[in-house]
Amino acid sequence: MLGYVVPEKAELKMREYEVYSAYYCGICKSVGERYGQLPRFTLNYDFVFLALLLAATDDETDKISSEHCIIHHIKKKNVLKENAAMDYAGDVMLILAYYKLMDDYVDDHSYPSRMMAMMLSSTVKRLSKYHSSLCELVESQLRELSKLEKEQCAELDRAEEPFARIMEAIFTSSGESNPASLKILKHIGYHLGKWIYLMDAYDDIEENITKNTYNPLLYRFQYEGESIEDFKEKIKPTVEFNLMHYLAEISNAMSLLDLKKNKGILENIAYFGLLRKTEITLEKGETNEQSV
C-alpha cells in the first residue's frame, strides 16, 4: 500500500491517538524483533488500519507498554505488544513491499528497487512458508497488472482489479473464522484496493506523462498533450465519482462489523481520513506524505 490510509488527526481524541501510535510502533517493533532491523524500512501507516480493523473483531485487550526504540532512544513511546493482528499486518507489509519492489524492477528496470527487494528476499522466503497462498496470489495479480500495463489497458475497472484482489485477500487471510465477518472484510479490502489504485493513478498523472509510463487514466480519457492542469480538471468529475463510490462501500461495510474496541479510531479513518485524502488528491494531487 502507499501511505494513503491514515486518520484525520485533528478529529482524534488524545487517547485514540495514543492507541493509534502504539499500533504503528508495535508493528515496527514486531517486524524488528522477528526479522531484524532492515525490513523495518517498509513501514507505513496503511497497515495500522489493517491491524486495528482485524484486532477490533476479537475480545483481546490491547496490551500497551512504554518503551524506547532505535529512533526514539530518549523519550519512550507507546508500543502494542503480543497482538496477532499486529504481527499479521507486519507480515503482509513485508510481502507486499517485496513483490511490489520486484514488479518495479521488472517493469522499469529499477535497480534501487531490485537492491531493496534483495534485502527482503530471505525474510519473504521465511514468510512464504506461513503465507504461501497469499504470496502466490500477490505475485500472480501483480503479473496480471503488469500484463494490463503492457497492453495499455484503458478500462479502469480492469486496471483496478488486480490490486483490489490483492487487498481482498490481505483482509481475509488473517485466520478470521466468522463467515459474516469474513464477507464484510472481503468487501472492505476489495473496495479499498480500488480506491488506493485510483488515488495513486490520479496522483501520478504528471509523473507518468513526464516519464512516458503507463497510467490507465491517460488512455481512458485520451490524453492528447494538453496541459496537465486542464487534463486533470477534465477527468476530475469521473475520478471523484468513482472514489466516492468506493468510500461509500467501505463505510457501509464498516458499519456492519461488530467492532469490539477502537471503534472511534476506525470510524475516524473510514469516515474522515480517507475522505480528507481524497479531497487533497483531487485538489493538489499530492498525498503521499505521512504526517500523522
Question: Would you state the pLDDT for residue 289?
Answer: 45
Note the pLDDT tens digit of each residue in 55-71: 999 888 999 999 887 66
Q: What is the mean pLDDT of each run of 10 residues along the chain (292 residues)?
A: 87 95 95 92 92 93 87 81 96 93 77 86 93 95 94 97 97 90 97 97 95 95 95 97 98 95 97 96 62 51
Can you give the residue range of the structural domain that contains 91?
Answer: 9-284
CA–CA dist 88, 220 (Å, integer): 36
Examine residue 38 and state whether it is found in any structural domain, yes or no: yes
Examine residue 251 and state whether it is found in any structural domain, yes or no: yes
Examine residue 177 and state whether it is found in any structural domain, yes or no: yes
Examine residue 4 and state whether it is found in any structural domain, yes or no: no
Locate 232 and state its grid cell.
Answer: 486533470
CA–CA dist 22, 77 (Å, integer): 7
Examine residue 290 and state whether it is found in any structural domain, yes or no: no
Question: Would you state the pLDDT for residue 107?
Answer: 67
pTM for this prediction: 0.92
Question: Would you state the pLDDT for residue 56?
Answer: 96
Examine residue 141 and state whether it is found in any structural domain, yes or no: yes
Question: Would you state the pLDDT for residue 1?
Answer: 55
- Given a contact cutoff of 8 angstroms between Cβ atoms, the answer to whether 57 and 99 are in contact is no
Examine residue 58 and state whether it is found in any structural domain, yes or no: yes
Question: Would you state the pLDDT for residue 270?
Answer: 96
Domain total of the chain: 1
Examine residue 3 and state whether it is found in any structural domain, yes or no: no
Question: Would you state the pLDDT for residue 73?
Answer: 67
CATH code of residue 22: 1.10.600.10
- Given a contact cutoff of 8 angstroms between Cβ atoms, the answer to whether 198 and 274 are in contact is no
Question: Would you state the pLDDT for residue 136?
Answer: 95
